[in-house]
Amino acid sequence: MKADPLDGRTPVTLISGWLGSGKTTLLNRILSNPNGQRFAVLVNEFGDIGVDDRLVVRSDDSVVELSNGCVCCTVRGDLVKTLLNLQKRRPPFFRKRKFDRVLIETTGVAEPAPLLRTFLIEEQIAENFRVDALVTLVDSKHASSALNEPAAEEQIALADVLLLNKTDLAEDTALHELREQLSRRNPIAAVFECIQSEVDLHEVLAQRAQQALPETHTHHAGDGHAEISSICLRESRPLDPLQTQLWLNSCAALLSGKLIRYKGFLHFDGEPNQAILQGVYELYTVSAGEPWDKDEPRITELVFIGRDLEEAFLRHGLEACLA
């Protein structure tokens, strides 16, 4: 789906990944070669980002300003305060232009859900910023040892983009198995493969959480283990908005602790526009999307990602929402 040209909020991309996956290398590439864009990068510690000293024009304890218009900021506990202060700041030499994008790095062992919640529930943040995508880097060589860590599982399940990094170090068979495993856990993420975090940044950053869903199928764990899996639902008949809201509320409550991510497009009866669903755990939003194309089939398409999800339960609930 195209970005809304009337949405003047600053786009945000979240960068996550397990320890050693290549987040720092990626961010350093972005800061060193922004290709004409002006990024504000929020990190935990400056020391982790090897910014070229020749680019630095001004620095203090919390902000490093670069001659290419980018800034690198540390987050000292209060993300909301940091973002609001950033909104008031303009890049050096370009005071009349705001930043093109904010990039936020999570720690390797952090679960990204609290960050996503901030953009959903903090009114001042939601008014000024929008999350375009969560990008998760995966160490292709050592993924098997990290994928069962709860934080790493969530980083993958919540991702809109998966970067399979260090593919040159992984055996072909292991890389194939990794692709299959990631597809089961998150079939809706765009996947890119790279070496030393070198990717087409324009293509990666152009990915948005509100894009059309790819062709997906329901995936279940096959060994009895409560592995993260996905369920895909499609319905061509129109839905009743109120019944759909009640159903989503019940899903958020009844599937608490199981449901991690849910997203998709809703076809409401009599509405000329798509409705966009974005959900993280118990929080979700439904917003107006683009108008349905004249010759486009109006179909509700939803993907639910979590543990121990029952397809029959979700499908029955969706059918109860029919107009």
Beta-strand relationship, 259-266 and 273-280: antiparallel
Indicate the number of domains in the chain.
2
Check pLDDT > 90 for residue 45. no
Do 44 and 162 share a domain, yes or no?
yes
Q: Let me know if residue 83 belongs to a domain.
A: yes
- 159/133 Cα distance (integer angstroms): 7
Q: Let me know if residue 215 belongs to a domain.
A: no
* CATH number of the structural domain spanning residue 277: 3.30.1220.10
Do 82 and 159 share a domain, yes or no?
yes
Beta-strand relationship, 101-105 and 229-235: unpaired
Q: pLDDT (tens digit, 9 = 90+) per residue, 289-304?
A: 889 988 889 999 999 9
Do 64 and 168 share a domain, yes or no?
yes
Mean pLDDT on 80-90:
79
Do 115 and 39 share a domain, yes or no?
yes
pLDDT at 48: 56
Q: Let me know if residue 219 belongs to a domain.
A: no
| Lowest-confidence segment of 130-134, 248-252, 315-319 by average pLDDT | 130-134
Domain boundary, last residue among 205, 240, 268: 205
Check pLDDT > 80 for residue 89. no
> 31, 145 in Cβ contact below 8 A?
no
pTM of the model: 0.81
% of the chain at pLDDT higher than 70: 82
Check pLDDT > 60 for residue 257. yes
Name the residue range of residue 91's domain: 10-205
Mean pLDDT on 28-47:
79
Strongest mean pLDDT among 99-108, 118-127, 259-268: 259-268
- Res. 5 pLDDT band, cuts 50 70 90: low
Do 236 and 169 share a domain, yes or no?
no
Helix (H, G, I), strand (E, B) or coil at 3: coil
Bridge partners for 139 per DSSP: 165
Do 50 and 168 share a domain, yes or no?
yes
pLDDT at 47: 56
CA dist 20 to 85, 148, 226, 242, Å?
A: 30, 16, 26, 46
Place of tokens 């670069």: 66
Query: DSSP label at 125?
Result: H
> 182, 193 in Cβ contact below 8 A?
no
Check pLDDT > 90 for residue 249. yes
Do 189 and 237 share a domain, yes or no?
no
- 207/216 Cα distance (integer angstroms): 18
| Lowest-confidence segment of 221-225, 254-258, 275-279, 284-288 by average pLDDT | 221-225
Do 128 and 270 share a domain, yes or no?
no
All residues at 6 or more sequence positions from 5 whose CB lies less than 8 Å from its CB, including other chains: none
- 79/212 Cα distance (integer angstroms): 30
